[in-house]
Amino acid sequence: MTPAARVSAAIEVIDAIERERRPAADALKSWGLAHRFAGSGDRAAIAGLVYDALRRRASSAHLMGAETPRAIVLGMLRRERDHDTDAIAKLCDGARFAPAPLTEDERKHLDVADLSGAPAHVAGDYPEWLDPYFNASFGDERAAEGAALASRAPLDLRVNTLKGERDEAAAMLADLKPDATRWSPWGLRIRLSAEAKSPPIHAEPAFLKGFVEVQDEGSQLAALFSGAKPGEQVLDLCAGAGGKTLALAAMMQSKGQLFATDDDKRRLAPIHDRLKRSGARNAQVRTPKSIGSEIDDLKGHMDLVLIDAPCTGTGAWRRNPDAKWRMRPGALEQRVKEQAEILDRALTFVKPGGRIAYITCSVLDQENGAQVRSFLGRHGGWALVPPVDVAGALGERAFMFSKAARLAPEGILMTPRLTDTDGFFVSLLRHTG
């Protein structure tokens, strides 16, 4: 397919997403099934155009003065891909399979490409109803924080220290040119261009042998900040597919006992193969039969309970850009309720002197600091571990990280703009009763 035909296809897919209110992945799959002539490179390029358009949907529509799929894609080419008007006109020449030629009005908007005076939610590319929440979290910086959350994410890997060192894993992946991550002592980062296909990491020997796992640097740091130590008794209460479970197992050097569970057994399905590949020997998966019964014997015995809480996922918008446009106010309310219930459940497993590590991939204070304050208001016998002490797990990098991240009494907030990671919040609470 020609570049122009790919742009036409992206406009078609955006139209299906808008008109049918379906997830981007589903719309892209349907398009691919209906256009089997498109090769893997074409499909990857079209997907890149679609996801970039969704990342910059609000600002692109504002720039073009219209909210049509065509306007959104053309505005994205100017705003995200940095194409000038002539370059976009060459793609839109009206030839076979190409978009129709630019109108005079479209040329005028592309030439100006001005977002000055745009509302914060437009410049920051997030839904208007979320603006009060972004304002509560970031104030006047909310547009810049939103724009960073709309950027493309790199591919981050966590090196499994049970199998080897970071330099060893980097050598195994040398053809992908990985760099050491800025903060995480275990991380490797592979930067991808807008047109690049994601490398087949799951087929790499380093992955197959358990040397690396795909995990954003912010998620790696969230696990590190929990302070899990060899010999401890640790419960990963919302383990899901096991990303943080694997990191905890490596931190514990397979010493002590690590329990992993989740209320939804379907989310736990991948964890068994991942643990086997990692070489972890101290992890035990508790698949739920009924709520609570699978781990009742652990109550009052845990040194650490890690809560990777269900949340709105606002911090992960770089990786799932269409999610922000499908998010509704009721989802935030529901997640806040679930988080409070999980925190109240978690405390029953912690022994005196033990800790709760509360983690979200959200940037909204309602799910983060406010949730922690509410927990402390409901329960005596708990104290916050100062965030600067939590960040001390980074050793010599702790000072610069503490300057970069947003540290509040309740915890640490990482964002793409501040720390060049996904958005994560981490709070560490100690049982003093």
CB 232 within 8 A of CB 304: yes
Q: Exposed, middle or buried by CB within 10 Å (0-12, 13-18, 19+), for 242? A: buried
Angle separating helix axes 40-55 and 69-79, nearest 10 degrees: 90
Amino acid at 150: A
Tokens 């050598």, residue located: 171
CB 422 within 8 A of CB 360: no
Angle at 256 between CA 251 and CA 262, to 5 degrees: 75
322 is in an annotated binding site: no
**Number of C-beta neighbours around residue 140 at 10 A:** 8
Beta strands in 195-319 (DSSP E): 212-214, 233-236, 257-261, 283-286, 302-308
Left if phi > 0, otherwise alpha if psi is -120 to 50, otherwise beta: which for 231? left
Give the C-alpha separation, 424 to 316, whole Å.
8
Residue 308 annotated in ligand binding: yes
Alpha-carbon distances of 87 from 100, 326, 372, rounded to whole Å:
14, 32, 50
Closest to 306 (Cα-Cα) out of 358, 248, 246, 240: 358
Tell me whether residue 361 is one of the annotated catalytic residues: yes
Of 390, 388, 405, 331, residue with least CA distance to 355:
390
Task: Count the alpha carbons within 13 Å of 331 in the hemisphere toward its beta carbon.
Answer: 15
Q: Residues near 110 by Cβ (< 8 Å), separated by ≥ 6?
A: 63, 64, 74, 78, 84, 85, 88, 102
Q: Which residues of 144-180 are buried (b: 16+ CB within 10 A; e: fewer)?
A: ebbbbbbbbbbbbbbbbbbbbebeebbebbeebebee
Just list the catalytic residues. Answer: 361
Provide the annotated binding site.
Answer: 262, 308
